[in-house]
Structures are given as structure tokens and as C-alpha cells.
Amino acid sequence: MRKFKIYLLSAFSVFLFANAFSQTVDEVIEKYAEAIGGRTAVTAVKSVKTIGSMSMMGMDFPYTMCASFPDKSFLEVNIQGMVMKQGCDGTTGWALNPMTGSQVPEKVDDETANSFKPRGRTYSVLLTYKEDGAAVELTGKDSVNGAEVFKIKYTGPDKNTEYFYISAETAYLIKVDKKVNTMGKTIRSETTYSNFKKTGDIMMPYLMEVKTSESRMGSQSIIVD
């Protein structure tokens, strides 16, 4: 009987721990939402226009980015006088790349169009994971550039996984690590966020550092003006 009670208590403890852990991941997400302006204010933003520059290989390229929630986007980048454009209406993607001799927009394949769709999001998928049919899991704590962070594993409706790192001190999202399938290859993409500034009612990162495996151009900095 004593052994049975011990097993029962152990099982009950595991049950309580599992539920507390589940609640904790939602608490971390809500603290993040509150830190950047509050869920109501953040999710009210349905369109964003960003102007800045992309820096890579010692050169700066001015860009304009327009996003319309959840999956419509337009990107224009000036590459030494040549203007590259990409867009997505939520279903079809297109691109105009003068460096390849293209003078008119051309439809891209479905894989490329799908890679354009996340650009349309004006706020993180963490805030809509339940409605989207995704799953989140708090995998513990980690460190990013010396800062203690909560590490959240996000599994999307497509079963692809991403890892979100939320600062334990500020509750800002400071890193996203994910794998992207493109042209038959799986590429790891790592983005860190910093230089947060209040824009309207929302705290936004004005500097993003992007590192992509197998990239010949090295890391890329995206600076918001």
C-alpha cells in the first residue's frame, strides 16, 4: 500500500508539473505581448510599411517593405541603382530582378511564394498559435549574447519547427532560429533582434542580424530607419 501511495503521489506530481509547465509557456508569451505594447494594441496593427537598409558584404542597399496581415507583402530593394521587387497577394508570388535581365514581374514557383507569405505578418505567430492550429512548448532556459532567455519550441500547422528566444529580463523576443526548405535543401536561418524603439504604441526592433547556413554572402544586417 505504501509503494502504491508513493507511485500515486509521483504520478500526481508529474501531472501537476506538466500542467504548470503548459501554463508557463502561455505566461511567457503573454509577458512578451505585454512588453511590446499589449496584445490588444499589437494585434490591432494589420499593415506596416518599413523603410531602411540591408547591409551585407560591406555594402548597404536601401529597401522598402510593406506587410499586410496575414500573408500579403511587397519588398523593393535598390541594389546599386538596380531595383529588385518581390510581392505576394497571399496566394501568388512574383518577382522582378533586373540583375537577371528581367524587365517585367514574373510569377515565382509555389515554394518561393510560400517563403514570401510570412513577410505579411505584422506580429509574431506566437500570439496566434492556438487559432492557427500550431503547438508551443517551453523547453527551458538558454543564453543569447549573455542574456538569459526562455526558449520556446513552435511547431506550425505544416509541422515545421522554429525556436523563439524571449528575454527573461525585458520579455522582448530577441532571437528566432528555424530551418527553411528551399531548392531541395534544408537551410538554417538565425535572426537576432535588438535596438528596440517605441513606434506608436508598439516596441519594435530597429536592428535585425540574419545568419543563414550555406550563404555565400555571409551575415546580413537589416536596419530600420
Res 30: pLDDT:
98
pLDDT band at 57 (very low <50, low <70, confident <90, very high): confident
Q: How many residues does the chain have?
A: 225
Question: Is 122 in a helix, a strand, or coil?
Answer: coil
Q: Are the beta carbons of 185 and 169 closer than 8 angstroms?
A: no
Q: Tens of pLDDT along 150-207?
A: 999 999 998 999 999 999 999 999 999 998 776 667 789 999 999 999 999 999 999 9
Q: Are the beta carbons of 166 and 173 closer than 8 angstroms?
A: yes
Average pLDDT over residues 33-55: 98
Res 4: pLDDT:
42
Task: Please state the pTM of the whole predicted model.
Answer: 0.85
Type of residue at 62: P
Type of residue at 48: V
Pick from 200, 202, 196, 141: nearest CA to 174: 196
Q: What is the Cα Rg of the chain in Å?
A: 20
Strands of 132-172, DSSP E: 135-144, 147-155, 161-167
Res 182: pLDDT:
66
| Residue listed under C-alpha cell 535596438 | 195
- 25 pLDDT more than 50: yes
CA pair distance 197, 29, nearest whole angstrom: 20
CA pair distance 58, 69, nearest whole angstrom: 33
CA distances from 185 to 133, 171, 179, 214 (A): 26, 33, 10, 10
Quick one: which H or E segment has residue 36?
none
Q: How far is CA 87 from the centre of its chain?
A: 18
Res 21: pLDDT:
43
